[in-house]
């Protein structure tokens, strides 16, 4: 090693669950007292609840003082590594979530706005929605965006709903019941298509790292309702035949959805509409600087061309002479209540303005550069190979690697390496969606946020751990050693006799 690795240890408070804390009678919050006049007029609240609908036994919730609750959750937050170290979690585009938009999203003008307020009283929110809509139109070439979907998967689901409505309007839905995707597209595409009632046709990956145009054409027919696909895919491979794909799908009457989960490396370089796509999706909690919250609140911003716009869910924000109103289209209704996670929309808008066209283009450049830089070093690490080793084209903003060699030679698996890296404060890397086409996969993505020094640190740790696999494999297999807790034993997680998703169940099954 040319430099010493960080001597890190996670905070480990050995903190009990909240269910085990407190003493009867303690209060964490009290409410404004009900005024005497109201008490006089309404002396007994219980009597106003129909007898059969009354709660008899109070809920067995913990009873704690304010500081006890606060400190408990501060401790748990400290026991969350996340981005505090270096997180290069591929496909999720870990990036800085600017403090200014976080701070402003906590003002009453965001928090205390009710979604059913008259539009005249929420012009600021509606203007933010409209302005981000315009920005995403420019980034994609689409004609209109909505922010109702609560995540990328929900945007895919919206596409499935719009696909239904579009073909139903033509009287063809009964016949067009297939959605085509690839095994390398995010699982949500296949899953939402199936949940919406379509039969899923999944194309395999071929030699070049993507499905072949021939395989696609063979799958297409008068039954094809839509294509749902990522590009570049989760291995960072850009499909150069994508325009022919779109053409082929259109020729049989299907519509084409571009899952732009992996947009960070192509921002400002390509636009979905110009590649022929009818709709696309951006993730505001990934590409556009809004935080992930460990899994939301998120936004799958869904944009489409004019042909599909009549099927959009409502309400839509429409601008007229600088004022904003809500309009109800005759589309698919709702995929979620209200306009969407507007604080995230607000943060994404702030990010777009802070970056500007030049900043966004630079972010793409730096993302692809960082990936190429990492690739050169990773490929020199013993035991690591790149997916599709025969493929000499460059990957875009991330690359899929395999530890198959390392596992074969040392018995150390990719999960062992992932766990061991956390001992140095490195957040878990992304492996791969199911199924694992590439054995023992991992997929780092550096994006534009992380410094070269951060990236080097990450690479040093990876190199060190791979070296350990050959010299002291037991250290890697037993990892983590410096974390909040040890590695979990997952054996009970799918066992109805042992799983316990709540304290009630835990006490019952394990006698705690």
Q: Hey, which residues between 114 and 153 contact another protein (CB under 8 A)?
A: 114-118, 120-125, 127-128, 131, 134-135, 138-139, 150-153
Residue 170 interacts with another protein (CB under 8 A): yes or no = no
Number of residues lying near another protein (CB under 8 A): 225
- Under DSSP, is residue 474 helix (H, G, I), strand (E, B) or coil? helix
Residue 340 interacts with another protein (CB under 8 A): yes or no = yes
Give the shortest CB-462-to-another protein separation in angstroms: 15
Q: Hey, which residues between 403 and 432 contact another protein (CB under 8 A)?
A: 418-419, 422, 427-428, 430
Task: Give the contacts of 374 (CB within 8 A, at least 6 positions apart).
Answer: 399, 444, 446, 455, 458, 459
CA angle 142, 371, 212 (to 5 degrees): 60
Q: Out of 2, 4, 107, 471, name the contact with another protein by CB under 8 A.
A: 107
Residue 300 β-bridge partners: 283
Give the shortest CB-314-to-another protein separation in angstroms: 8
Task: Give the contacts of 353 (CB within 8 A, at least 6 positions apart).
Answer: none
One character per residue 361-400, x = contact with another protein (rule: CB under 8 A): xxx-xx-xxx-xx-xxx---------------xxxx----
Residue 289 interacts with another protein (CB under 8 A): yes or no = yes
Task: Give the contacts of 365 (CB within 8 A, at least 6 positions apart).
Answer: none
Residue 511 interacts with another protein (CB under 8 A): yes or no = no
Nearer to another protein, 100 or 218 (CB): 100
CA angle 54, 55, 61 (to 5 degrees): 160
Residue 352 interacts with another protein (CB under 8 A): yes or no = yes
Site stretch for another protein (CB under 8 A), options 250-258, 261-269, 381-389, 436-444: 261-269
DSSP 99-117: HHHHHHHTSHHHHT--TTS
The first and second tokens of residue 398, run together, are 């991330």
One character per residue 194-233, x = contact with another protein (rule: CB under 8 A): xxxxx-x-x-----------------------------x-
Residue 437 interacts with another protein (CB under 8 A): yes or no = no
Give the shortest CB-326-to-another protein separation in angstroms: 11
Tell me if 178 sits within 8 A of 331, measured CB to CB.
Answer: no
CA distances to 109, 479, 495, 501, 512 from 492, rounded to whole Å, are: 46, 20, 5, 11, 16
What CA–CA distance (Å, rounded) separates 300 from 149? 5
One character per residue 78-97, x = contact with another protein (rule: CB under 8 A): xxxxxxx--x-x--x-xxxx
């Amino acid at each position: 090693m040319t430099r010493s690795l960080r001597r890190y240890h996670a905070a480990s408070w050995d903190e009990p669950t909240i269910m085990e804390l407190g003493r009867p009678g303690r209060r964490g919050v009290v409410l404004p007292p009900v005024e005497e006049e109201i008490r006089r007029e309404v002396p007994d609240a219980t009597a106003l609840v129909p007898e059969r609908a009354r709660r008899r036994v109070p809920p067995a919730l913990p009873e704690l003082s304010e500081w006890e609750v606060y400190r408990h959750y501060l401790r748990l937050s400290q026991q969350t590594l996340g981005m505090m170290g270096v997180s290069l979690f591929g496909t999720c585009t870990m990036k800085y979530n600017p403090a200014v938009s976080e701070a402003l999203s906590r003002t009453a003008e965001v928090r205390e706005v009710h979604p059913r307020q008259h539009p005249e009283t929420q012009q600021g929110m509606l203007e933010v929605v409209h302005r981000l809509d315009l920005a995403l139109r420019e980034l994609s070439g689409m004609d209109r965006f909505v922010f109702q979907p609560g995540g990328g998967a929900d945007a895919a689901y919206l596409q499935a709903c719009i696909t239904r409505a579009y073909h139903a309007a033509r009287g063809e839905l009964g016949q067009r019941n297939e959605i085509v995707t690839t095994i390398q597209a995010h699982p949500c595409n296949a899953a939402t298509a199936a949940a919406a009632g379509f039969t899923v046709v999944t194309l395999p990956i071929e030699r070049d790292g993507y499905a072949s145009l021939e395989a696609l054409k063979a799958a297409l027919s008068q039954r094809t309702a839509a294509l749902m696909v990522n590009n570049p895919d989760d291995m960072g491979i850009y499909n150069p035949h994508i325009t022919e794909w779109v053409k082929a799908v259109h020729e049989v009457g299907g519509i084409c959805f571009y899952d732009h989960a992996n947009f960070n490396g192509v921002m400002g370089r390509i636009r979905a509409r110009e590649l022929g796509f009818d709709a696309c999706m951006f993730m505001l909690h990934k590409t556009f600087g809004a935080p992930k919250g460990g899994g939301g609140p998120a936004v799958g911003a869904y944009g489409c061309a004019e042909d599909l716009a009549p099927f959009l869910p409502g309400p839509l924000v429409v601008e007229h002479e600088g004022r904003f109103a809500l309009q109800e289209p005759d589309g698919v209704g709702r995929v979620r209540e209200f306009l969407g996670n507007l604080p995230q929309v607000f943060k994404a808008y702030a990010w777009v303005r802070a970056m500007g066209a030049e900043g966004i283009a630079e972010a793409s450049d730096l993302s692809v550069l960082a990936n190429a830089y990492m690739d050169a070093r990773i490929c020199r690490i013993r035991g690591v190979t790149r997916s599709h080793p025969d493929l000499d084209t460059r990957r875009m903003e991330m690359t899929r690697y395999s530890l198959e060699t390392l596992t074969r030679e040392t018995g150390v698996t990719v999960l062992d390496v992932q766990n061991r890296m956390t001992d140095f404060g490195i957040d878990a890397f992304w492996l791969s969606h199911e199924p694992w086409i590439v054995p023992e996969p991992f997929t780092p993505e550096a994006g534009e946020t992380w410094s070269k020094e951060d990236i080097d640190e990450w690479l040093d740790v990876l190199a060190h751990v791979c070296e350990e696999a050959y010299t002291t494999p037991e250290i890697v297999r037993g990892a983590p050693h410096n974390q909040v807790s040890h590695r979990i034993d997952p054996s009970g997680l799918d066992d109805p006799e042992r799983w316990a998703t709540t304290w009630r169940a835990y006490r019952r099954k394990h006698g705690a």
